[in-house]
């Protein structure tokens, strides 16, 4: 089978040492740890076939300096507390302030 494919100009190669494959989408990432990856080359085009179990993860939101300052001012907390609250609320400023003001 390999010989026939080579005669047709198709080269296949298993990639060794792949630790993980990450597919980044706008709102999440699909991660395939310990993936089996095969590179296929035909007519100058490269294709990758990925096999493995996938894990979906959502990256932590980027928290801006202005957001941190606003939460600090409105909730009367220090920088570390404001940052942690924003991380816990996925960057939702209003929710972070309400959460912090609700604490005794």
Q: Are 48 and 8 in a shared domain?
A: yes
Which of 77, 76, 75, 95 has its CA nearest to residue 87? 95
The whole-number pLDDT of residue 104 equals: 52
Residue 83 belongs to what domain range? 65-101
Decide: 85 and 65 in contact? Cβ < 8 Å: no
The whole-number pLDDT of residue 103 equals: 59
The whole-number pLDDT of residue 9 equals: 87
The whole-number pLDDT of residue 3 equals: 82
Q: Are 49 and 86 in a shared domain?
A: no
Q: Are 33 and 69 in a shared domain?
A: no
Q: What CATH number corresponds to the domain at position 53?
A: 2.20.70.30
Q: What CATH number corresponds to the domain at position 92?
A: 1.10.8
Ranges in the chain, pLDDT < 70: 103-104
Q: Are 30 and 6 in a shared domain?
A: yes
The whole-number pLDDT of residue 26 equals: 87
Taking the alpha carbons at both ends of the chain, their separation in whole angstroms is 71
Q: Are 70 and 52 in a shared domain?
A: no
Q: Are 6 and 50 in a shared domain?
A: yes
Q: Are 30 and 14 in a shared domain?
A: yes
Q: Can you tell me the distance from the alpha carbon of 51 to that of 54, in angstroms, rounded to the nearest whole number?
A: 9
DSSP state of 60: P
Query: How many separate domains does the chain show?
Result: 2
Q: Are 89 and 49 in a shared domain?
A: no
Q: Are 45 and 77 in a shared domain?
A: no
Q: Are 8 and 52 in a shared domain?
A: yes
Q: Can you tell me the distance from the alpha carbon of 36 to that of 56, in angstroms, rounded to the nearest whole number?
A: 18
The whole-number pLDDT of residue 6 equals: 80
């Amino acid at each position: 089978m390999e010989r026939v494919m080579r005669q047709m100009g198709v080269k296949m190669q298993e990639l060794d040492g792949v630790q993980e494959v990450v597919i980044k989408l706008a709102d999440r990432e699909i991660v395939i740890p310990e993936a089996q990856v095969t590179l296929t080359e035909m007519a100058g085009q490269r294709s990758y076939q990925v096999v493995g179990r996938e894990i979906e993860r959502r990256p932590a939101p980027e928290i801006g300096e202005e957001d941190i300052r606003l939460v600090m001012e409105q909730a009367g907390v220090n920088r570390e507390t404001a940052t942690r609250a924003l991380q816990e609320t996925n960057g939702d400023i209003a929710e972070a302030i309400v959460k912090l003001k609700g604490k005794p």
